[in-house]
Every structure is written in C-alpha cells, then in structure tokens.
Structure 1
Amino acid sequence: MELDGDHMHFTRRSEVTTISLLSLARAPTFREGVLGAVLTISSDEHGDVTLKGAANLDARQFSKEVKEAWVRSSLAALERETVWLDSILAGVQALAAPSSYPAACQVAPLLEKARALDVKLLSKLRAEAVGPDAMARVAPAREFVSDPRTARAAGISAFVTAELERRKHFFDTVESRELTPEQRLSVVVDEDATLVLAGAGSGKTSVIAAKAIYLVRAGIRQPEEILLLAFGKKAARQMSERVEARSGEPIVARTFHAIANDIIGIVEGTKPPLAAHADDELAYFNVIRQILNDLVHRLPNVSTAAIQWFAHFMVEPKTEWNFKTKHDFYTHMEAQDLRTLQGGKVKSYEELQIANWLYENGIEYEYEPPYEHKVPETGRRDYQPDFRLRESGIYIEHFGVRREKTADGGEQLVTAPFVDRDEYLASMEWKRRVHAEHGTILIETYSGERQDGRLLTGLAEKLAPHVTLKPRPADTIYDRIVEMKQVDDFSTLLGIFLRKFKEGGYSLQDCRDTSKKKGLGNRASAFLDVFAAVFEEYQRQLDDRIDFEDMVLRAARYVETGRYTSPFRHILVDEFQDISPGRARLLKALKNQHPDVRIFAVGDDWQAIYRFAGSDLHLMRHFGREFGGRFDGEADIHRTVDLGRTFRSVDQIAFAARTFVLRNPAQIRKQVVPAGTATEPAIKIVTVPKHDSEAKLSEVLNGLSATVAPGAEAATALLLGRYSFIKPDMSALKARFPRLEISFDTIHASKGSEADHVIVLNANSGRFGFPSEIVDDSLLSMVSPEEEAFPNAEERRVMYVAMTRARHTLTILASNARPSSFVTELREDPAYGIVSEPGGKQEDCVCGECGGRLLGVAGRNGHIRYRCEHDQHCGNSLPACPACQTALPHRTDGTSEVRCECGACFPACPECKDGWLVERNGSHGNFLSCARFPACFGKPKAPRGTQFSTPRTRRRNRF
C-alpha cells in the first residue's frame, strides 16, 4: 500500500491498482497481531483491500496518515465545489416555495446539475471525514437527487396554492364573470405541455384569453414571446380583440397558416403566392373534380382506371360471405350506394359488377324483371330472375355459392354463413327446372367465380355464343357517371386523400405497402391508379403557388433545420381537438427549438368532428407522448386540467350528452357540472309520420312559442341538420312564430353556437340519416396512422355537439318508421332519462326473416302495417293485429299460437317465423292462411277443431 497525495496505490503480484481517497467508505482499520499487523482499506470501488504482516508500528502510523489525508481530501473537494453546491441548494430551497411554476423543463436542469455533483462528490462524502455539519449541509441536495419527483410535486402544490391566492383579484376581474376554480387552475398550471379539457359551454375562450394575459401580467413572458393560435381567421380575430379589450396587451392571435406564411417570408425574404383555392373548400374540391374530368378525357390510361373504379370498385367490395347474419349484411349494403351505371339499384356488390359489365359492353338489360312465363303457384313469390338481356332474351342468375373441399377429397357447394344451404340449393334447382320447362336460356354466375377472380371473364365466355359485345366509348361512360353525380363523391374522396397524403409526407409506395398490409386489395389499387395521376396534375397546376399543406410543412422544415429562429416561449392553441399531423409537426418544431418552451392546448375530444378535413384525434388522446417533456428519466411529462363546469346546458341535457359520448371508451373521461337544474323534461323525442315532417316541426315550434310571455324577449330556437339539404322554409317559419328567433345550421357549422332551444331534424336511419351511413372510406386508412374502432365514433361526437348547443330544451325529430340507432339508444336506455311523446315509442319487433327490426308504418288510410327496416333486401311485411289494429302479435315460446298485447290469440303459421293464420273467404268457402300471404303460403296443419280466440267486440276481418 502506498499513499500518494489524494490517491492510494495497491500492488499485488506486480499489478498496481489506484483509487481516489474520496472513494473510501470509512477510515482504515488496524489490528495488531503476533505475526504482524492487519491493515484494511475499504472503498466503494474495490471493496476491502487487506495487508497482513506489516510491522505494527509502521501499520499504525500509515493508517493514521491515510485517515488524515482522507479528511483533508474530502474537505478540500467540498470546498472546491462550494459555488456549485450552493447554487444547487438554492434551487432546491426555491423548489420548496417556488416563485414560478416548477415545470419539468425548469427543474430538469437543476436535477441534472445535482446528479452530476452527487456522482462526482456528494455520494462519496462520509460524516467521519467531513463532520456532521457538512453532511447536514449537503443533505437537501442528496434528498432531492434520491426522490426528485416528490420534491417537484410538492413544489407544484405549494406554488399553485400560493399563486391562486396571490392572483385572486386578477381571476375575479380578468373576464366579465369570475373564473371558476377549474379555470383558475388551468391558468396557473404551466407544465411543459398542458392540456385543458374544455367541454361544451365550459368557457374555454375565457381560459385561453386569461392565460395569455396572465403570462404578461405575472412577468412570465413578454407579449412577443407568446404565440396564440386559432384554427380560423374569425376565431383568431375574436381572440385578439378579446385579449386586447381585457388587458390592452398587444397579443395577436394567428391562424396556423398565418404563422407558417410569416415563417416562410422571413426565411425566403418573400411570401410565395397562395393557390386561389387554398382557403375555399368548395373551390378546392372543384379543382380536384376538374382535374379528374380533364385527365379522363385526355389520357386513355386515366380514363380506363377511372371507369374501372366507378364500375367495379366505388363501393366496399363485401359480399354475404363477410357477414354472419342477414341483418348485418343488409345493414352494410344499405350504407353503400349500389347504383349501377344504367341508373338502377341492385342488392349486392357482385350484382353491381355484373350490371356494370353489361352496361360497359353495350348489352341492354332489365334487373329483376317478372319472368315472361306464368309459373304455377308453388308457395313462392312471383319469379323474378336477376337479369334479362333485352335483345337476346337470355336470363342471368347470380348464385351465392362457392365450391369447398370435403373431407373425402370431393367438392360441395356452400352458401354464406346465414343462408340455409339446403333451401338455397333447392331454389337453384327449381329455377333451372323453370327455364328448362319453358325453353328459356339461363346463364349462371357464382360467388365462387368472383373469389377466384374470374366472375366477369367467365360471364363473357358464357355469353359469347349468344350476344355480340358493343363496348361503349370511355367518354360516353364517363359522361354517364357525371350525369349520375357520382363524380362529386369521388372527387371529395380524392381531395381528402390528397390533403392527408401531403400533410403526412406519404409516398405512393407507402400507400401501396399499407394497402397490402391491411388487405385493401384491388379496390385500393384501382383508387391509387387514379389518384397518382390526379396528384401529379394537381402539383403541376400549383406551379410556384402553394396550398396550405405545403405552407405548413415548408414552415415546419425551416423551424426544424434552424433556418428560422423562433421568438416564442409560450404557444397557446385553441380547438386543439382539430389538430392535424402537419400542424402538430410545426408545433413540435417550435417547441423543440428552445428547452423552456411550453405548449398550452385547450380542446374537447368530445367535439372532434373534422376528421374529413384532416384532423387527427389521436394527437390529442396521446397528448403527452406527442408534446410532453422529460424529467427524471420519464418521458411524456404533461398536465391535464378538466374544466368540467358548463355555463350553457341544464343538468338533464349536460348529463345525457356526457353519458352518450362516453359510450365510446376511447373518449377522455371528464366531469360535467351543469349550468342549472331543469324543472321539466328538457329532452324530448318526437316521432314523425311519413310525409308529416313540416307539420311536426310546426307543432314543436308552436309549443316553444307558447312558453314565451307576450312582450318578452324572443327565445332563440336553433334547427340543426346533419346535412344542409334538409333546411326547411325559414322565411315561412319566422313569419309564423314571431316570438322565436329561429335559425338553421348544419351541426358542423353550429360548433360554438348556442340557443335556448335546439331541434335536431331528421334523426333517421339510412344513408343520409343521422348517424350518417356515408362513413369514412377505408381507403383513407392508407394515409391515416390510426383508426377508430368504435362504431360511428365521429358521428357520436357530432350528436354530442348537437345536443350541447341547447341551454334549456332539446327536441329530436325522428321517423316513426325508421328512427336512427342514436334515437333508439337515447329513447330506450333509462340512463338518459329522455321523454318520448305519448304513443311515440313503438315496441321493437325482430324480423324473423333477417333479424332486423319490424317497424310500424301508418298508411294513408291510417292502417298500420309492420315492415322490415331492410325493405329493399328483405321485404318482410305484416299487418297489425286484426283486433286492436295497432300492435304486432308475437309467437309464444313452446306453443303453436301467436298472441297480441291486446289479448288476441291466433294460430301460428307453420311455414314462417312471424306469421299467424287468419280466416279468408275463397271460392270453396272460408279457410285459414298466413297473414303474410302472398309472401308466405302457410296453411294449418292442426286439426280443424282447434279453437283460437279474438276479442269479439273489436274483431274485424280485414283480409
């Protein structure tokens, strides 16, 4: 062992090890022995090093000198780091009672500094070397290093408590109404990334304005260091005016596009010209439509690709085989526009392919025409083959069967999961016999052929001996597509896809790879063939101009590469739920330029309804991951504040809307404190008979008008529609109800509005109902990083927006025959506490043919008949009970009878699930047959003596 200044050297078998005296764990230990001393040096790096056999006197002296050197070295090291230690201790002390919010970005440098000193010195100090006073001095720094998260949390709590009290007058007066406790907290919290969840009517504008003013008044930032962002020019202007009016501070709110354009101007010295359609949605989609039209007429390859799309890939290519029940299949088919190039509608995707191939090749046809020969009564409906070719008289039947290997190596025909195989195969044989008996030519196609990719080629081969193909010119077909207005929806899809494609920085190969991964198949390939040409031409036409996507991304690149130096230290963002990937990229770039930049975002994921315009709700749901800071090895550091309280809706509306939107578990849970308590039912569902919507709306408005006292200020009534085309005659309504200030808006356009009374129109099922069945196309998943799995997720948020526009009452008008799934949910779930008009709710009856709903519909003669909701596909229809004329009789389990709630009882039809036997008059006297006749030819199998009763006082024979 050798002592050398502040180090010791150990030599063992010529191998030398050197340690610092600071690494000693304790003073050397010395023990005398008969054969010499035992001297042990303990260090943190090498453990115990022991020397045996030294002279006792020498070992004692050496041990003393090592201890003295250890003490000197430790005290000297502590003295050298006094300035460093004092600054850390001052920081730790300040954290106990901070003068500003201890955000992660502020405390992280202190922690880094403390840990570095701890590793270098503090962790090596021992009380035996430096004394208890020195150890007490360094203790706060060591405690902070060992548990920095608790220290920061305590500092945050201390600051928030003190600041809320210190700034009480500010919070009481900064807005016309005193800020709520939740609003005050959101202003004071100043984490690296702060997300304020601002529900409908919770005062988000007050919060973001107060935050901007607070930052300046508290001396945290200068006005020029604050970037206040809004999504639209109107919102930005209103925000600027509000801040200036409340504070006089020159804090100007800007749109994302405005700040992006300013960045480009600073870097490039001039701002590039903006495309004429950049800030005009209608003009933008018109540009896409015109590009598509020009390319189709100019380039044969684009013409071919476009026609292939419209003829065979426009709708989702799903068949019966993709569904487990008829109800699911029919529901999907009704959400698709299965309209052929000839103009009619068909019932399946495969029939659509056949019909459009016939049209493309100039073959005139009829769809589901009556068979030309009278078929004797067989218990079936009148025979209607799928197609009849007009010129040749040939019939085409498309059969939903596929070939499947059997266990013995053979093959058999199989049907879709919900189809009775034996019954279906029997119907195929019956159709073949009918054609054979009457000498008509039948061409057969099969689902299995489409599965094998040869449905249309096979059809061409089968028809070749009988017809001559006369392919229509591409221009003629496309003009027909334009005439049918199918180009508009496709142009919109192309336009939405193009925006997402540019904003996300995708390539065509990226899209093809995603398509393959997600199994989007030939439909995606057909779409990309058209899109590639449209995108290339769109970019060419831009020339030296830019659109908003270019603007935001170019600005983001300038910030990321340091060509633009940001002056902003606080970035405040309004309506954050509408953030898009491009805007998020610009925000991140601005935040990452300086270590102390804060993001303060105000939004409501419950009101995220602009996915079609490029917004990506996942950016808000993963706010910490996207924008959070880092501290103590933990990423995603952020703070969320829930405003909770609403200043708009009464309790019944506020709570029902919250319950409704939270049925989607992906929505962020928030508390809701309503604006007041309703003393009468605040939400009503009013059913509307067919052709009676105007009368029902007038009836509702008349009731609202009656609540306004004469001479009192007019109450506001907002009519909301999912689509603009359902707007009623507003001039007439305003003239008839002068006590009401009536307005109409689409639900999307109404965001931010409010009224005393809200009336939601046309909450019906169907393609253009609410929820809309024109869902986001699955092709958009090629340019969308994440998808929402919950059914009607965005439409549910649209309904939430509609509900929360109302202060006092909400009325929902829905078809009595086809109410939407939203109306059914609201009406039937007691959690919503919603009132239906007397007699408005009809009992749900399940269709025995397909599993859908049987809906009661009053005819013009007032008689009620129950029809399946899938009337185009299923067609099941039943009369109301002959006794009460209102309800629908139900089959009683375990018996052969059908009973009505009025007490009437009938024999159950032995052939079908829904029908019952009724007495009819025939040429041979009275007989019993199914109430569904002629759809069902069921007749009694029980002995004639079996008796069933109907209340005689109300019994009528209506058949």
Structure 2
Amino acid sequence: MFGTAVTLSSGEFPDVTLKGAGHQDAHEFSERITQAWTRVNLAALESEAARLDKILTEVMSLAAPSRYPAACQIAPLLEQARALDASLLSKLNAEAIGPETVARIAPIRKFASDPRTWRANGVAAFVTAELDRWKDFFDTIERNPLTPEQRLSVVVDEDATLVLAGAGSGKTSVITAKAAYLVKAGIRRSDEILLLAFAKNAAKEMSERVEARSGVPIVARTFHALAYDIIGIVEGSKPALADHATDDLAFTNLIKQILIDLVRRLSDVSHAIIQWFAHFLVEPKTEWDFKTKHAFYTHIESQDLRTLQGEKVKSYEELQIANWLYENGIDYEYEPVYEHKIAETGMRDYQPDFRLVESGIYIEHFGVRRQKLADGNEKLFTAPFIDCDEYLAGMKWKQWAHAEHGTTLIETYSYERQEGRLLSGLAEKLAPYVTLRPRPVDTIYNRVVELRQVDDFSKLLGTFLRKFKSGGYSLQDCEAKSDRMKLGKRAGAFLDVFAPVFEEYQKRLMGRIDFEDMILRAARYAETGRYVSPFRHILVDEFQDISQSRARLVKALKAQHPDVRVFAVGDDWQSIFRFAGSDIHLMRYFGSEFGGSFDGETGVHRAVDLGRTFRSVDQIAFAARTFVLRNPAQIEKLIVPAGIATEPAIRVVTVSKGEDAAKLSEVLATLSAAAAPNAKSATVLLLGRYRFVEPDVRDLGQRFPQLQISFKTIHASKGLEADHVILLNADSGRTGFPAEIVDDPLLSLVSPEEEAFPNAEERRVMYVAMTRARHTLTILASNVRPSSFVTELKQDPAYGVAAPLGLELENHVCGECAGRMLGVAGRNGRIYRCEHVQHCGNQLPACQWCGTALPRLIDGTAEARCGCGATYPACPACKDGWLVERSGSYGKFLGCVRYPTCVGKARIASGARSAVTQPRRRSSV
C-alpha cells in the first residue's frame, strides 16, 4: 500500500534497506543487481579456473591415490585449498553460480574443512590397492613370502614411519623389501635412498642382501661412514681419525693415563681426583635415605664400600672415616676384637668400629641424629626401621665398657655429617692423641690403582665423555641439571674431575677427530646447508640404538627437503646400549622427534607392529613379552610365536656354590641325550652378562659332540639365535644379573631423561637373552643368591616356568630386615640365613624333624609350624625364632633356636609333655 522495500545484504557490511520504492521499479532493480552479482561470481570463477581445476584434480585423486598420501605431500594441497576457499569459494553465492558449480567445488570445500578424514581415506585406499598391485613382489622378494605386517610396513610411506620389529620378526627382510620397492615402484632413484646401519658388518650384509634379492645396487653405510663422507665433501679432505676411536680398550686406557698424568702434576686437580676416590666413589646414602632395612642393605650391597686400606665397611659414613684416617697416615684396624674380655653377655665378642694402632684409641661411629626439644635439651633418634631404644642402650653399654676398662673412646655421630662437620670434628677429637702425617697424593693414587677402582671409574668417565660430546652438553648444563636433580656434592666432585680430564682429552686429539666429533661436525654442515643432501628416503636399521648426535644428523638431512621420509626399524625392547650413548626416548617419542605436520597437528607419523616372530616357541615368546612389559614405559606390541612348545620351554636350575661346571654339564647332557641320533646337531648358545663367566667351550664341545656349543655375552648376542639357550650365573650382586654397577646416577646429567623403572635397561638385556632361544631356555642361578629376575620368573605363574631342578628356592621373609631367608647346607645340616648375611646375620636351623623345611610363626598364635606338620612354641623375644629344649646348669629349659643372638627362653612346666609336636605319620593301607 505504501511501496516496496529493497534490502541489499553483504557479508562485509551491514544490510542496506531502501523503502518506499515502486513495486515494479524495485523488482527491476533487484533483478539487475542479481545479474550483476552473478556476472561477478562467474568472472571470479573464470579467473581462477586453472587453479581450481588443478586443486580439484588433486583432491579428487585422494579417492584412489597413485602414491601414498603422506602428510608432507598433502599439506601443500591443503594450504592451497584453504587459500582458495578463503579468498573465493566461501564468498560465492550458491544461487549466483548454480547447483552444478556448487557441486563441482564442494569436494574442495569439504577437504578444506575436514582434511584429516580425506587423507585417512586416501591412505586406506592406497594401501589396499598397493598391497594387491605388488603381491607377486612381496611373495618372491625373500625366500619366504612376506607376512601381512611386513607388507604393510613396506607400502606405508608416512613422513616418519616406525616399524616395531620384535626379536626374530624379520626386520632385515623389511628393510630389504622397502629399498627394492622404492626403486622398482619408481618412487625414488637408488641414489636418493640412504640406508643406515650401526656396524660395518651389518651395513655390508644389508647392501649385499638388497642387491641379491632385488638387483638394486644400494650401498648401506654406517653413521660414521656417512658423516666422514660429508666432512670430506665439505672440507675437501677427511681429517685423521683418533687411534682410540675404533678401540674401546684404547679409549679407556687413554682416560686412565690422563688421570695418572693429572695426579703426578700435584695440582688442585690431583687433590680433586683423590677426594673422589676417598669420599665420592660410591653414592653417599645412609640408612635415613631408605624406608626398610631390606632396602638399605640391598643398596649397601650394590655399592663397593671398600676403603683405601682395602677392607669392606658397613656404611658410607664408616667409609668416610676410614679413608680420612688412611689419607692422614693414621694406621687403624677395622672392627678388631676388644682387648678386654667382657664376660656373661651371652653375645659374641665386642668389636668396636676402629682401633688406632699407634695410640690404642678406639672410635665408635653411632648412627643417630639429634633433635632440639622445646626445653633446650637434645633427643637422639635413629632411622625409622631401627629400634631406637635398643640402639641407644647399645651405645650406653659400649660407653660403659670403655669406662669400665679404662680405654679411650672417640665417638662420632651421623648428625655430624648431616651438619657438615663429621671429618673436621673427628680431627679435633683426635688432635690430643695422634699426629697427622698426610700420605702423598701419588701414593694414595697408586693404592687406588691396586684396588682396581680406577678401571670402573675410567669407564664411567669415558661413557660420560662420549655422551657429553654427542649430546652437545656444556659443564654449565651439567651443573644446572645437578642442582635440579639434587645430586649433591658427589656430582660436584665428579665434575671437578671430569672438567680437566675432558680438557686434556681434547688437547690429546691434536687435530684428529673421534666418532662424536665426526657425527656432530657432519650434522652442523647439514644444518647450515654447507652440505646439500641428495637423499629423499632415509632408512635406519636398529633404530633403538640411536643416540642424540645421530638423531641430530638424521633430522638435519630430513630438514633439507620438504618431502624427505624417515623409515626406522627397531625394537625398544632390545635397547641395551645406553652405555654407548643410545637414547631410548628417541624411539619412545618418535613422532615428536621425526614426524611431520598436517592440519595443525605435529608429530605426524605411522607405527607398524610386525608382531610375528619366526624364532621362539609360544612359551618363550609370551614369557619374554610379559617380562619386558613389566616396565609400563615400553611400547606394547603383539606377539605371534613361531610354534607351540610340546614340553616345558623355560627351566630354572639352581646351583650350589662350586657346582657351576657340574650343573652346566648336567644340562648339556640332557640336551645331548634328547637329540636324535642321525639328526643335524642342535645349536646351544651359552650366554653371560659378563665375559668372565665364559666356560671352556672347546672342552664342552669335545664332551658333547652332538651339540654345537658357543658362548657370547648377552650384548654381543644381538641378532643371533640357537635351538637352546643357557643363561649362566643369573645371580644377585654387583656383577650379577641384573648388574648393579651399570647405570651410575651421574650419567643422568648427560641423558635427556632418566628411566624411572628399576633396572629398566637390565630388564631389556634379559629380554634379549630370553629371545635368542628357539626351543628351550635354561637359567642357571645360585640357590643362595638368585637374581631378582629369576625370583620373579619363578614366582609369577604368568611366565610358565618349569619347577626348578635341584634345591627349591625358598620364599621366606626374614623377620629382622624383610629380606629373603635362603636355604644352604650348614655344618650340622641345612640352615636358613638372610640374603643380607653381612649386615643382618639372621640365621635359623631347619626343622629338627624333617631337616629340610623352615618352621614359620603363625599369626595370631604362639607357635611356629613346619610344612612337615611339626609345631614349636614361638620365641617370646624375637620375630623369627621358636623354642627348643635345652639343658643348663639348673636343668632343662626351652631356649630360642637363634641363641646366642637371641636369649629368649621359657620354663618347662613340671610333668608337662614335650612342647614340640611331632608331625603325624601317614599310615599305610
């Protein structure tokens, strides 16, 4: 009635409305505007026609891609599609361009909005078609057709691909097939493929195998050979290689010689070196750092608490005192029998901690700390797991004994070390009685050499030096990390020695380079572009052994071209060369370290689990998998075993002291007897955590001609396999298995991240040992000090370990310290003693009726019962003992079996029957 309104809508500006126009005029105006808008839209489309067609063709090809749609390949397409959508496609009016054009541009818009789904669909389509297309190739490239998992790993070609190749899963077949596939499929020329291995023989074998299987001549190289070539290309010649670079023994000897030379200079450095050996060689932990006696004793036994004089002491603080006395020329005896006989104690002879030879002064070190009370007095207290009242009473008794017999006693206390004045306070207390005659530095060092403490320290310094260089660390980095980790004075003392050793080592290179220099120099040349890489595919074998410096070189080569792929094959379960610089975290965080980026997501990569093992039967394969996955940080993998065991495949054989050779012969005799008369000789691989456990293999071979017997350390056995594996000396201790001297906490200063799980690397070493076996695994372990690994395997039914041959490993807990009570042959029959025999000393006889088992106290009762059925009255004075009938000056009584350690007793009621209940005998029918 009042006219027509025309509204103009714009995406960039507010709507504009014209009111009161004539109806006819408004419609004509609207039509002309719409036509003009259509012409603008069509003109814009026409101007971008070529660009649109190109993008559309590539997007549509993702439905059936001819090449693997890796992130690095699709990311540029996504960038182009989103740019076109933002500048044009999102602004087009559907009515203006028409339904056909809308349908035509829809794939680009959908891809731009949901690229991950499009790429995932493209990957799935490509893999399915490619597996079918190359079926004949996969069937014939190796002697046996590749498994589905192996085929998948070959056709997957992500920015970074990690192939999880468990023990015996055919990783070499995968690398061989991958290299041949890349060339035969026309994806790469042979000179664009880089094959990397860690050892010369592995590289040589890989090169020969690729060419023999595929006819493709691709030369595999070690990291060091590649780095050396890069340096030669950039510098025009290759610098000389240090003599010790290829000889670990020569390298360790060089470190030892540097230490000797630094000591002889009689400088501040020589003092720092002596201080290290005297006071910081072992971890400075005391009983206050542990919650239980068992944990404390276990730690102490893992440390070599040997003084400069040569004896082993029972605590770190005693070690400090003994070494201070030795440094200052004060002759002493450790734990001598007190010169006066103290009668009627019922205990063993009193042995003070130290007696000074010249002056006759005694020193007792008391493990107590002190607390200031509100009234100003002091309260002494012990570690939580030590009976404070009993300990303080023992202190008073020792003070009384010296006062009673007129001997001089110097007392030191744990709180003095806590307050930083243990040794200075000792010097003040001894000043009236002794004259200090400090021994010359070189004399002390010669003593250290005699004790063979320099050997292990030189290895530690060498490992630290290599990791320090390869990781590009500085001393400031190490000091800062030490502060963050609260490693204390020990780390500072170590760095005081390492700094001059490293400086001297660098001087002695004299223009030559070591392997660490070689890798890092090559990496810098690649990072700065002075070296231009021709490689587009980098294939890395044994990836679990990669170090930070090698990873840096790979990353530098990858960064030179946007389409470079990294194809890594390895098994984090077999990462056992941390001492040589390998860093397992590079594999665990493979995506973030080597992956690409796509649609805002970083670390894009693909992992393929080979799963199937061609080596071990089910019992061994599954037990090894369960064992290594106790560490939750290990990457979980499925395992398909090589076969089904028809008899127990894993067995523990317990060995008494001195019976190692005899037990090994028994096991070999059993294997030899089981071999078929005319069959091919069975292979037997003897494995040891250390080389010193190697038996006389030649003699064994002559005695058992039906068997092919060889010996390797577990580290040297990587890649090997045998019908039967025998693991030797699976015992506890510093040089047992797990080894307790492998990973010094100081190495964490030059490691990106410390592994939190106990014995993480040693557990992987055990996995390697287990998975060398095809049919059987036999573990020889001490019946007194079995390895914690052996105990775990035996106690957990999940491992399916056969009942051990020989003496059964007893699972009794020590009532004194919570360690294990182990059965051994005693002078008067079988006895059970605590595993911490040097510290705890708890010892119990076997049951007097059966002579083999150990009676145990029954909760809620006052008796101890043996498995044979015999029962005894529980001792009222201790946690472990029971009462047996004894005779004294006043007749018969009941006394504790732990006498004289425990003096618990009870009367025999007049006319009562024996307190001991004999086991019931079974009647025969």
TM-score by length of 2: 0.98
* Contact preservation (8 Å) 1:579, 1:616: yes
Tell me how far 1:504 sits from its aligned partner.
1.3
Tell me how far 1:58 sits from its aligned partner.
6.0
User: Structure 1 residues 63 and 379 mapped into 2: Cα distance closer, same or farther (>3 Å)?
Assistant: farther
* Contact preservation (8 Å) 1:194, 1:638: yes
Aligned to 1:654: 621
After the TM superposition, which of the residue ranges 38-47 and 190-199 deviates more from structure 2? 38-47
* Contact preservation (8 Å) 2:63, 2:121: yes
1:874 equivalenced with 2:840 (yes/no): yes
Aligned to 1:138: 105
Aligned to 1:865: 831
Aligned to 2:575: 608
Aligned to 2:886: 920
* Contact preservation (8 Å) 1:340, 1:356: yes
Structure 1 distance, partners of 2:592, 2:683, is: 43
Which of the numbers 896, 903, 906 marks the counterpart of 1:940?
A: 906
Tell me how far 1:608 sits from its aligned partner.
0.3
Matches within 5 A, 1:511-526: 511-526=478-493
1:620 equivalenced with 2:570 (yes/no): no
Matches within 5 A, 1:813-824: 813-824=780-791
After the TM superposition, which of the residue ranges 163-172 and 60-69 deviates more from structure 2? 60-69
* Contact preservation (8 Å) 2:621, 2:639: yes
After the TM superposition, which of the residue ranges 378-387 and 178-187 deviates more from structure 2? 378-387
1:546 equivalenced with 2:513 (yes/no): yes
Matches within 5 A, 1:1-150: 34=2, 37-52=4-19, 60-150=27-117
After the TM superposition, which of the residue ranges 361-370 and 891-900 deviates more from structure 2? 891-900
Deviations 1:801-826 (A, max 9, x none): 00000000000011111111111110
After the TM superposition, which of the residue ranges 455-464 and 285-294 deviates more from structure 2? 285-294
User: Structure 1 residues 682 and 862 mapped into 2: Cα distance closer, same or farther (>3 Å)?
Assistant: farther
Matches within 5 A, 1:179-328: 179-328=146-295
Aligned to 1:588: 555
Aligned to 1:753: 720
Structure 2 distance, partners of 1:44, 1:745, is: 76
1:406 equivalenced with 2:373 (yes/no): yes
Matches within 5 A, 1:269-668: 269-407=236-374, 410-668=377-635
Tell me how far 1:53 sits from its aligned partner.
5.4
Tell me how far 1:544 sits from its aligned partner.
1.0
Query: What amino acid is the match of 1:106?
Result: Q
Query: What amino acid is the match of 2:633?
Result: A
Aligned to 1:889: 855
Query: What amino acid is the match of 1:876?
Result: N
Tell me how far 1:709 sits from its aligned partner.
1.9
Structure 2 distance, partners of 1:733, 1:891, is: 47
User: Structure 1 residues 456 and 67 mapped into 2: Cα distance closer, same or farther (>3 Å)?
Assistant: same
**Aligned Cα RMSD in Å?**
1.5
Matches within 5 A, 1:820-831: 820-831=787-798
Tell me how far 1:500 sits from its aligned partner.
1.0
* Contact preservation (8 Å) 2:655, 2:806: no
Q: Gapped runs of 5+ residues in structure 2?
A: none
Structure 1 distance, partners of 2:849, 2:269, is: 63
* Contact preservation (8 Å) 1:650, 1:675: yes
Tell me how far 1:147 sits from its aligned partner.
1.0
SS at match of 1:177: coil
Tell me how far 1:864 sits from its aligned partner.
1.1
Query: What amino acid is the match of 1:694?
Result: A
Tell me how far 1:837 sits from its aligned partner.
2.9
Tell me how far 1:906 sits from its aligned partner.
1.5
Query: What amino acid is the match of 1:908?
Result: A
* Contact preservation (8 Å) 2:725, 2:776: yes
SS at match of 1:843: coil
Structure 2 distance, partners of 1:943, 1:58, is: 129
SS at match of 1:934: coil
1:841 equivalenced with 2:804 (yes/no): no
Which of the numbers 684, 703, 716 marks the counterpart of 2:683?
A: 716
Structure 2 distance, partners of 1:510, 1:136, is: 60
Query: What amino acid is the match of 2:848?
Result: P
SS at match of 1:43: coil
Structure 1 distance, partners of 2:907, 2:295, is: 34
TM-score by length of 1: 0.94
SS at match of 1:316: coil
* Contact preservation (8 Å) 1:126, 1:135: no
Structure 1 distance, partners of 2:820, 2:804, is: 21
After the TM superposition, which of the residue ranges 477-486 and 418-427 deviates more from structure 2? 418-427
* Contact preservation (8 Å) 2:164, 2:570: yes
SS at match of 2:672: helix
1:779 equivalenced with 2:746 (yes/no): yes
* Contact preservation (8 Å) 1:224, 1:567: yes
Structure 2 distance, partners of 1:916, 1:131, is: 99
After the TM superposition, which of the residue ranges 829-838 and 156-165 deviates more from structure 2? 829-838
* Contact preservation (8 Å) 1:910, 1:941: no
Percentage of pairs with the same residue: 73
SS at match of 2:246: coil
Deviations 1:633-683 (A, max 9, x none): 111100000000000000000000000000100000000000011101111
Structure 2 distance, partners of 1:54, 1:312, is: 101
Structure 1 distance, partners of 2:472, 2:805, is: 56
Structure 2 distance, partners of 1:712, 1:679, is: 19
Which of the numbers 170, 177, 181 marks the counterpart of 2:144?
A: 177
Tell me how far 1:766 sits from its aligned partner.
1.0
Query: What amino acid is the match of 1:863?
Result: G
Tell me how far 1:896 sits from its aligned partner.
1.9
* Contact preservation (8 Å) 1:883, 1:950: no
Query: What amino acid is the match of 1:911?
Result: A
Matches within 5 A, 1:790-809: 790-809=757-776
Tell me how far 1:732 sits from its aligned partner.
1.5
Structure 2 distance, partners of 1:911, 1:942, is: 17
Query: What amino acid is the match of 1:797?
Result: R
1:765 equivalenced with 2:732 (yes/no): yes
Structure 1 distance, partners of 2:682, 2:513, is: 46
Tell me how far 1:946 sits from its aligned partner.
7.0
* Contact preservation (8 Å) 1:365, 1:388: yes
Count of residues in correspondence between the two structures: 920
Which of the numbers 691, 702, 707 marks the counterpart of 2:674?
A: 707
